[in-house]
Chains A and B, each alone.
Chain A
Amino acid sequence: EAGVTQFPSHSVIEKGQTVTLRCDPISGHDNLYWYRRVMGKEIKFLLHFVKESKQDESGMPNNRFLAERTGGTYSTLKVQPAELEDSGVYFCASSPGGTGANVLTFGAGSRLTVL
């Protein structure tokens, strides 16, 4: 089966611009997560979708970040306007419902560089 796909793999933008990251989870996975790793630190949780609903968005840094999951399939994470501290690697992950929910499959990540 296809894995979790993220794009772009790398985006370089200037401060104040907008960037949209996309994630295509494994087909049929109800759970979709966004995480971020900044400057070699720990991978931090951003938010969790169950199907099209936001289950937990407690990790979203501020209102410059907007995540959506249209129809419970792919998800986008928009940063507008981007700031320098938003630079990092954004990971998307998905998992099925039920007993396999805690085994997350991750994408390769989208590296964001804000200049």
Chain B
Amino acid sequence: GDSVTQMEGPVTLSEEAFLTINCTYTATGYPSLFWYVQYPGEGLQLLLKATKADDKGSNKGFEATYRKETTSFHLEKGSVQVSDSAVYFCARWMDSSYKLIFGSGTRLLVRP
């Protein structure tokens, strides 16, 4: 069935390091794709999204490109900060049933 797979965490990086969190999906067609972030003690927040192939979503220095060839939507940031420490969730929209399907989440810990 349709699913979202993202790399297991935790991911531990030093400040200013480069970040990649992998996300792949299975689907028929071209679903809208999302990254959500959950900071400690807070709810899920939309970080960025892309609605069609080759779209690039970006926000707060994070980017992700919708790659239909590899069915991927990897999250990247060139220089992470301690304040980026959070859990990141990749998700896809199900047009057939009007709901989001999430990956298992990846915890990021950035050390000063």
A residues sitting closer than 8 Å to B (CB atoms) are: 3-4, 6, 31, 33, 35, 37, 40-45, 48, 55-56, 58, 91, 93, 101-109
Given A56-B97, A106-B36, also A91-B104 (CB < 8 A): no
Contact of B101 with A45 in the complex, beta carbons under 8 Å = yes
Q: How many A-B pairs fall under 8 Å by CB?
A: 54
Residue of A nearest to B3 (CB): A42
8 Å CB interface, B26-64 against A: 32, 36, 41-46, 49
Residue of A nearest to B31 (CB): A102
Given A40-B105, A42-B105, A43-B89, also A103-B46 (CB < 8 A): yes
Q: Quick one: which of B36, B44, B101 has the most chain A CB within 10 A? A: B44
Contact of A45 with B99 in the complex, beta carbons under 8 Å = yes
B residues sitting closer than 8 Å to A (CB atoms) are: 4, 32, 36, 41-46, 49, 89, 93, 97-105
Contact of A102 with B93 in the complex, beta carbons under 8 Å = yes
Residue of B nearest to A59 (CB): B99
Residue of B nearest to A101 (CB): B98
Contact of B43 with A48 in the complex, beta carbons under 8 Å = no
A106 in complex: contacting residue of B45, B97, B105, CB < 8 Å = B45
- Determine the chain B residues whose CB is within 8 A of the CB of A42 once the complex forms: 4, 102-105
Q: Quick one: which of A3, A43, A55, A104 has the most chain B CB within 10 A? A: A43
